[in-house]
């Protein structure tokens, strides 16, 4: 975030901000001096997120189902009523529908599961953008969508609906950038393997091997801060000439040729 800009009255909405990458993004924006709305579906995370962020009145936790139009409308209305404005929207909320080990062939994937994943991961960003637009437009703000490297690469019988939703989100990004510009810039971040233990409220630490790190050209597995820093930059004045782009942050893995030996 541009350190020369006073962000004390700016407002950022982070969907799915109760844990993981979203919680790290919320923390990063709060550290920049902004007011942050954590729009989180899981109400049980409220006390944990509030204690972790320790931001007092700078933080508003609003239970939100981003796949529900009425829920999104209520979240936006409460944000404006409480904080008076919206400058930035981080569309981070996502689900894989709790599929067993994330592995399920298409003939076992139910239509209801498919709809649930697309409802949160793709319709959610659409709805949040639709209802935040007039406020972000007024302040010439920015939108950042959090997609995934699975938008462009896949594993057999794994996360079929999730991959489709993230591919749609990348395309939605450039569609919105052209439709909402020049007053609103819209960009996308596609994380690779990011270990989020520090932002999971005490979850058992993931055991990583040296091979886990060294298989990445960058030499390590990703951290939530890698994504949060890019989100802050894309919302800053320094990124004023950047819109419609998808930034892959994966330690170089999608650029690595892998052949069976």
Residue 214, Cβ neighbours under 10 Å: how many? Answer: 10
Dihedrals φ, ψ of 89, to 5°?
-125, 125
Could you list the beta-strand ranges (E) of 160-216.
185-191
pTM of the full structure: 0.95
Return the domain boundaries, the chain.
11-251
**C-alpha closest to that of 25 among 168, 202, 196, 209:** 196
Output the tens digit of pLDDT for each of the chain's 261 residues.
Answer: 554 567 889 999 999 999 999 999 999 999 999 999 999 999 999 999 999 999 999 999 999 999 999 999 999 999 999 999 999 999 999 999 765 557 889 999 999 999 999 999 999 999 999 999 999 999 999 999 999 999 999 999 999 999 999 999 999 999 999 999 999 999 999 999 999 999 999 777 889 999 999 999 999 999 999 999 999 999 999 999 999 999 999 999 999 998 887
Angle between helices 46-53 and 20-31 (to 10 degrees): 40
CA distance 181 to 178: 6
- Class level of CATH domain 11-251: alpha beta
Residues taking part in catalysis = 162
Q: Which of 252, 249, 259, 255 is nearest to 214 (CA)?
A: 252
Distance in angstroms (rounded) separating the CA atoms of residues 29 and 35:
8
């Amino acid at each position: 975030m541009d350190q020369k800009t006073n962000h004390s009255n700016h407002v950022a909405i982070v969907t799915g901000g109760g844990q993981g990458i979203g919680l790290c993004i919320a923390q990063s924006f709060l550290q920049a001096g902004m007011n942050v709305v954590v729009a989180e579906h899981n109400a049980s995370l409220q006390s944990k997120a509030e204690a972790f962020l320790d931001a007092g009145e700078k933080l508003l936790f609003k239970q939100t189902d981003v796949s529900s139009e009425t829920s999104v409308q209520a979240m936006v209305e409460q944000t404006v009523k409480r904080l008076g404005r919206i400058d930035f929207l981080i569309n981070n909320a996502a689900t894989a529908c709790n599929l067993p080990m994330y592995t399920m062939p298409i003939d076992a994937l139910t239509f209801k599961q498919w709809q649930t994943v697309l409802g949160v991961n793709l319709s959610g960003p659409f709805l949040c953008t639709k209802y935040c637009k007039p406020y972000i437009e007024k302040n010439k703000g920015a939108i950042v969508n959090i997609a995934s490297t699975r938008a462009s690469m896949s594993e057999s019988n794994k996360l079929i609906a999730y991959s489709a939703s993230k591919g749609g989100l990348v395309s939605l990004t450039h569609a919105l950038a052209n439709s909402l510009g020049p007053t609103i810039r819209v960009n996308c971040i596609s994380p690779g393997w990011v270990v989020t233990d520090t932002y999971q409220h005490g979850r058992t630490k993931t055991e990583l091997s040296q091979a886990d790190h060294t298989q990445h050209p960058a030499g390590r597995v990703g951290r939530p801060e890698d994504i949060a820093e890019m989100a802050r930059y894309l919302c800053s004045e320094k990124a004023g000439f950047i819109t419609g782009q998808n930034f892959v942050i994966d330690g170089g893995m999608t650029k690595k040729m892998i052949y069976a030996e």
